[in-house]
Structure formats: structure tokens, C-alpha cells
């Protein structure tokens, strides 16, 4: 394949294996898989999911929802607290598809009741420990008040409680991920029981995040899972223990433009406007913006030892290589790089190229 500029490559077979693993797990647990499409943002990759029977999806913005609705998706959850300023767009979309939204304040429920033109299904957003968004899980009063307000509304139909246990990303072992999962589920169950004791019937539980969906085997207590990143995985996921390196389905291909013998570094065409500025910290405390893959033509191999993207600026990437690899690499060659954060890289690039050559858009943003 001809590479002349930083290119985000995707291995379709590996994506299928990644989807299959989670789809099988969902089936075994009799739980609905509603994958989060913010990772790939691609109409084409969305279609791959259809082959696994997926009909319901998650997105994180109204714009993304509009895009996938235009691609024929009929059941979409926007897993971002309703932005009331976008009410016109919400009304337009709710006319066309089965739209599910999340709320966490009585004010937003009231606003929707006053301004919606169609019935919309609604989840209450719960904070089980990530402390980013949602009503704190043990604030039962608030949860109950919001639930009652939804129940009293004529246009909102209450589905249940939803959470994203994003603190699982701070894990460094499978055991830590599992513990976060168990805590999160038990908190959600507690709320569910409380609501059911207060005459709310069939309160569903929806949980998200790739780490717990990848590592945990038991999801029988929940109704829906919404992982997204697993479609590609990345170095962050590998570091916290939710995937193996060979499960990462994307790589960057970047031209080498200069070599520096004294510091055993090469300069690549590839920087923050391709990878994003996200990083992982390695075991020595160093910031890592990507690892290097061995490759043989279009076949990716193992990680190159002691080699990594050491720093990036807007377009420049500085790559440290081991002696052997450094001696092999020439200006004009292409380095294959395992990205740190698949979602941000895909969002910035706006397109991917299959390792078989075809280009696909990732523009549902």
C-alpha cells in the first residue's frame, strides 16, 4: 500500500473479532449490546455491526445522532446529558427515530416536558464513582425526585438508570477493573431496588465502558451494555488490562523524514493533529505517545522493543528507537505506530484506510 502522509489504518478482520467477542458475551448474558459509535464515527463501520444483529446504538452528541439516523439507524441513545439549547434538533430527530436521552436534573425534565413535541424515552444518569456526570449514586432523594418528575411528565417515558464507570480507566490490572465493575453494578442494583420499592416497574440498568465490558464475564444483573472503544482498542486499553496488544485493530503509518544518530531518534510526519495529545505513562514514568509495531508489508507484527513516540508537536513526532531498528530505518521509510487513544485519533483524522487499501470516512461528528 502506498503511504505518503500520516494514515490511520484499520484491520477489518480484527474489528470483526473484537465485535464478535463482545456480541457473544452479550448474548451469553442475555443483555442488549448498544455499542457506542463515538469511537469510529463511521457509517461504514456502523454497517459492520449490523452483521452481528446490532440495531440499537449509543452516540455522544446530537450531531452524531443525526448522522447515524441519516444512515438508517432507528434506535439511538445520546449518552450525554441533554443540552437544552439543542431542543430544536432534539425535536426534529425524535420525529424520525426512537430517540433515548439522559437527564440528571429536575430542571431539564421540566424543560423537556415544556418543549418536546414528541414522546422521548429517558434514562436517569447516575454517577457511580467517576465524578464527571450524573446524580451521585447515594443521593437517593434526588434520584427519586427526578424519577417522579419523569413519571409525572406526559412526554417522557422512563426507561431506567444509566451509568458510565469511567473511573475503570484508572485501573492497571484486570482485578481492579473487575472490582470497579462489581461496585458499580451493586450501586446500580441498590437504586433499582429502591425505585421498584417505590412503585417504578421494570427499571432497566445500562452500563458502559470498554474495560468492564472486556474483562467481566457476568452481566446478568444489567439490561444493556454500551462499550465503544473495543471496536478498535488502543494503548490505553492495553495498559489498563482490557485488551491484548494483538487485539488493537488500528495503526498509524507515518513517513520518516529525518534521522538523528547521536540521540538515536527519527522524526516522523505525524503529530498532535493526527494522534491527539493523549499519552500513557510507562513503567519508568515516561510519557508515551505511541509504540512502534514491526511490520512486513501490510502485516503488523509485535511491538518493537525499547522504541516509542517520545514527544509530539502539531505535525512533528520524535521517535526513540532501539539500536537495531534505528539502523534498519531509512529516511523515506514508513513507521507503523500503535495509537494511544483510538477515539480521539479517529475523530481528528476523520477517515481511516483499510489494510486492503480502501478509504472509509469517519465523519459522523
> Which residues of this chain interact with a second copy, rule CB under 8 A?
3-5, 38, 60-63, 80-86, 89, 104-105, 107-108, 111, 131-133, 136, 166, 255, 257-259, 262-263, 267, 269, 272-273, 276-278, 311, 313-316, 318, 330-332, 334, 343-344, 347-348, 365
CB of 167 to a second copy, least distance (A): 12
Question: Alpha-carbon distance 58 to 40, whole Å?
Answer: 12
Report how far apart the first and last C-alpha atoms of the chain are (Å, whole number).
Answer: 28
Q: What is the CA radius of gyration of the chain?
A: 22
CA–CA gap between residue 72 and residue 256 (Å, rounded): 41
**200 neighbors 124 (Cβ within 8 angstroms):** no
Nearest one of 336, 116, 319, 354 to 245, comparing CA atoms = 336
Name the residue nearer to a second copy (CB basis): 219 or 233: 233
Q: How far is the CB of 63 from a second copy (least distance, A)?
A: 7
Distance CA 245, CA 237 (A): 9
Based on CB atoms, which residue is closest to a second copy, 111 or 140? 111
Alpha-carbon gap, residue 192 to 65, rounded angstroms: 28
CA angle at residue 213 from 209 to 214, to 5 degrees?
115
Residue placing its CB nearer to a second copy in the complex, 63 or 353: 63
CB of 15 to a second copy, least distance (A): 19
Residue 293 CB, nearest distance to a second copy (Å)?
19
Q: How far is the CB of 41 from a second copy (least distance, A)?
A: 10
Distance, in Å, from the CA atom of 228 to the CA atom of 48, rounded to the nearest integer, reads 14
| Helices assigned H by DSSP within 97-162 | 106-115, 140-152
Nearer to a second copy, 11 or 269 (CB): 269
Nearest-angstrom CA–CA distance, 78 and 73: 13
State in angstroms the smallest separation of the CB of 113 from a second copy. Answer: 15
Amino acid at each position: 500500500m502506498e503511504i505518503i502522509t500520516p494514515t490511520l489504518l484499520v484491520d477489518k478482520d480484527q474489528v470483526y473479532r473484537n465485535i464478535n467477542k463482545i456480541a457473544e458475551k452479550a448474548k451469553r448474558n442475555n443483555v442488549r449490546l448498544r455499542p457506542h459509535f463515538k469511537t469510529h464515527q463511521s457509517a461504514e463501520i456502523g454497517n459492520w455491526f449490523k452483521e452481528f444483529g446490532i440495531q440499537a446504538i449509543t452516540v455522544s452528541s446530537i450531531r452524531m445522532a443525526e448522522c447515524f439516523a441519516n444512515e438508517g439507524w432507528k434506535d439511538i441513545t445520546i449518552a450525554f446529558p441533554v443540552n437544552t439549547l439543542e431542543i430544536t434538533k432534539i425535536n426534529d430527530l425524535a420525529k424520525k427515530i426512537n430517540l433515548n436521552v439522559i437527564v440528571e436534573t429536575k430542571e431539564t425534565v421540566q424543560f423537556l416536558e415544556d418543549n418536546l413535541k414528541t414522546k422521548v424515552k429517558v434514562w436517569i444518569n447516575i454517577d457511580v464513582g467517576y465524578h464527571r456526570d450524573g446524580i451521585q449514586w447515594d443521593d437517593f432523594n434526588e434520584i427519586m425526585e427526578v424519577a417522579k418528575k419523569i413519571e409525572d411528565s406526559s412526554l417522557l417515558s422512563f426507561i431506567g438508570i444509566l451509568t458510565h464507570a469511567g473511573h475503570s480507566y484508572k485501573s492497571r490490572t484486570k482485578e481492579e477493573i473487575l472490582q470497579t465493575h462489581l461496585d458499580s453494578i451493586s450501586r446500580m442494583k441498590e437504586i433499582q431496588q429502591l425505585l421498584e420499592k417505590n412503585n417504578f416497574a421494570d427499571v432497566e440498568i445500562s452500563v458502559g465502558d470498554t474495560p468492564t465490558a472486556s474483562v467481566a464475564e457476568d452481566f446478568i444483573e444489567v439490561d444493556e451494555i454500551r462499550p465503544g472503544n473495543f471496536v478498535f482498542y488502543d494503548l490505553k486499553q492495553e495498559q489498563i488490562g482490557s485488551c491484548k496488544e494483538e487485539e488493537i485493530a488500528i495503526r498509524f503509518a507515518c513517513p520518516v523524514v529525518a534521522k538523528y544518530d547521536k540521540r538515536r531518534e527519527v522524526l516522523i510526519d505525524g503529530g498532535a493533529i493526527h494522534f491527539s495529545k493523549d499519552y500513557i505513562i510507562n513503567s519508568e514514568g515516561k510519557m508515551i505517545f505511541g509504540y512502534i509495531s514491526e511490520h512486513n508489508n501490510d502485516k503488523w507484527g509485535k511491538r518493537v522493543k525499547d522504541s516509542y513516540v517520545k514527544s509530539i508537536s502539531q505535525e512533528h513526532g520524535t521517535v526513540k528507537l532501539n539500536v537495531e531498528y534505528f539502523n534498519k530505518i531509512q529516511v523515506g521509510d514508513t513507521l507503523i505506530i500503535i495509537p494511544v487513544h483510538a477515539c480521539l485519533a479517529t475523530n481528528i483524522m476523520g477517515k481511516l484506510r483499510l489494510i486492503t487499501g480502501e478509504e472509509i470516512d469517519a465523519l459522523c461528528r
